[in-house]
Amino acid sequence: MSEQESKDRSQVRQKRMIADHFEKLARAKEDGKKVVYTFVPGNLTELIGAFDMLPVLPEINALQSGMRKKSAGYIAEAEKSGHSEDVCTYVKCDIGMTKSGNIGPTGTKLPAPDLLLLSYTGCFTFMKWFELLKQEYGCPVVMLHVPYQPDGEITDQMRNYVVEQLRKEVIPALERVSGKAFDIDELARRLALSARAEDDLVAVWESARKRPSPIDAYFGGVYYVGPIFSSFRGTEDAVLYYKELRAEVDARVRAKLGPMTPTGPVTRERFRLVVEGPPNWTSFNDFWEMFSREGAVFVASTYTRVGGLYDGGFRHDPSRPLESLADYCLGCYTNLGLPTRVNLLERYVREYEADGLLVNSVKSCNSFSVGQLLMLRQLEERTGVPGGFIESDLVDPRYFGKANIENRVQSYLQMLEARKAGRS
Ligand code: SF4
């Protein structure tokens, strides 16, 4: 099989999975299916699936709108109705989309939620966002409060606190709305499928230790986390997708190939970078090309851990279903304190033998942006690897200054080049 055919197989599968899901959502009301809106970090996809309900993730709709160049109009719509310029642009994009007919990323109309499931993992904006959706739809809200991890460890009290809420608040709410009784065996079955997909995803991340790295763990990585961060964790489809993806990446390792990009493969890996912070979605391909054409490859990123941190060893565990859901929610990247984040980044810089560490500080997201400069300085001191800092936004194109960002990226890469030359 040719490289292109092999590459296409997982991409084609992912595209079909997403299209099928949005088709199901479009037919949800006539099929009698209940719909749950929820957030990516700390999502309880297996639990929602165990009640045969369909998840909608407003952040994913917002980022897809950004990639499809629709977010500027939606944000303008939300600002017209009074949402200030400082509000997270995912929220404004979603509100604008709702007010413009709630047409989802694939062009089909999204159903109204039957339940808003608010997994609270460190972002206060989540609460305000669902307050707005509650006003819009008038449906019930159930909140899972996930305590912040200040010291880098999950204590029994923290885990029990989350499990108690799952037992006493979240599961009863899902039972009420779905009209179905909770089946713990069905949840466990789904968690076993999650763990298989998670094993393969970790193998894909770890392939970036090779030289050349066969993947770009940031720009390519956001495609790899699509199924596991959204509606598909705990499904056979996700297991097959990650198995195929891993096989494709293994084939690239054997052939000593660098990552594929929208403008072709990276044929010469010149810089290995670790990145902190989400990407910009409105100029995603331009942003990627600024690095790929210079042979700069991202070998690890924190953004691809925001919906679950698996490379530290965590797997969903069917033998302790609720406890394992609690550990998953507690362990998402933005639920970790700054010292733990710094330790993780230090590990990535060392283990993936990075030449540089870049921060993309997005205007919208305090969950990411707070403390990033301090983190950068600490990491420079600890690793000796030079840091770079750029600023943009998630889905507001007004905050992506292409020329300015390009200048900064080029200066940074030139500095890394000079440093390498000085060492050789
Ligand atoms: S502030 Fe950040 S974490 Fe919170 S909703 Fe916006 S993008 Fe998501």
Quote the pTM value: 0.95
Predicted pLDDT at 3:
45
Q: Are strands 54-56 and 115-120 parallel, antiparallel or unpaired?
A: unpaired
- Give per-residue pLDDT as tens, 83-95: 998 999 999 999 9
Average pLDDT of the residues in 331-351: 96
Predicted pLDDT at 389:
97
- Give per-residue pLDDT as tens, 342-381: 999 999 999 999 999 999 999 999 889 999 999 999 999 9
Q: Look up residue 226 and give its amino acid.
A: G
Q: Measured in angstroms, how far is the CA atom of residue 59 from the centroid of ligand 1?
A: 8
Ligand 1 atom at minimal distance to the Cα of residue 122: 3
Q: Measured in angstroms, how far is the CA atom of residue 372 from the centroid of ligand 1?
A: 15
Of 396, 335, 400, nearest in space to 368 by CA: 335
Mean per-residue pLDDT of the chain: 95
- Give per-residue pLDDT as tens, 184-235: 999 999 999 999 999 999 999 999 999 999 999 999 999 999 999 989 999 9
Predicted pLDDT at 185:
98
Predicted pLDDT at 2:
47
CA 68 from centroid of its chain's CA atoms: 18
Mutate to test the pocket of ligand 1, among 57, 63, 88 (most ligand atoms within 8 A of CB): 88
Q: Residue 420 pLDDT > 90, yes or no?
A: no
Going across the sheet that includes 296-301, the strands are 296-301, 271-276, 356-362, 387-392
Mutate to test the pocket of ligand 1, among 84, 365, 368 (most ligand atoms within 8 A of CB): 365
Predicted pLDDT at 7:
55
Mutate to test the pocket of ligand 1, among 360, 367, 369, 370 (most ligand atoms within 8 A of CB): 367
Total number of residues shown for the chain? 424
Q: How far apart are CA 261 and CA 251, in angstroms?
A: 17
Average pLDDT of the residues in 47-71: 96
Q: Hey, is 297 helix, strand or coil?
A: strand
Q: Residue 144 pLDDT > 80, yes or no?
A: yes
Q: Measured in angstroms, how far is the CA atom of residue 126 from the centroid of ligand 1?
A: 7
Q: How far apart are CA 141 and CA 156, in angstroms?
A: 27
Predicted pLDDT at 423:
77
Average pLDDT of the residues in 123-135: 94
Predicted pLDDT at 98:
94
Q: Measured in angstroms, how far is the CA atom of residue 347 from the centroid of ligand 1?
A: 25
Q: How far apart are CA 383 and CA 344, in angstroms?
A: 12
Q: Are 332 and 306 in contact (CB under 8 A)?
A: yes
Ligand 1 atom at minimal distance to the Cα of residue 40: 8
Q: How far apart are CA 28 and CA 208, in angstroms?
A: 40
More confident residue, 163 or 370: 163
Mutate to test the pocket of ligand 1, among 90, 128, 336, 362 (most ligand atoms within 8 A of CB): 90
Give percent of the chain above pLDDT 90: 92
Collect all residues with Cβ–Cβ distance below 8 Å to 84 and sequence separation of at least 6. none
- Give per-residue pLDDT as tens, 1-45: 444 444 579 999 999 999 999 999 999 999 999 999 999 999 999
Residues with CB under 6 A from ligand 1: 59, 88, 90, 123, 125-126, 364-367, 394
Predicted pLDDT at 1:
44
Q: Residue 421 pLDDT > 90, yes or no?
A: no
Predicted pLDDT at 6:
44
- Give per-residue pLDDT as tens, 255-278: 999 999 999 999 999 999 999 999
Q: Measured in angstroms, how far is the CA atom of residue 60 from the centroid of ligand 1?
A: 11
Ligand 1 atom at minimal distance to the Cα of residue 41: 3
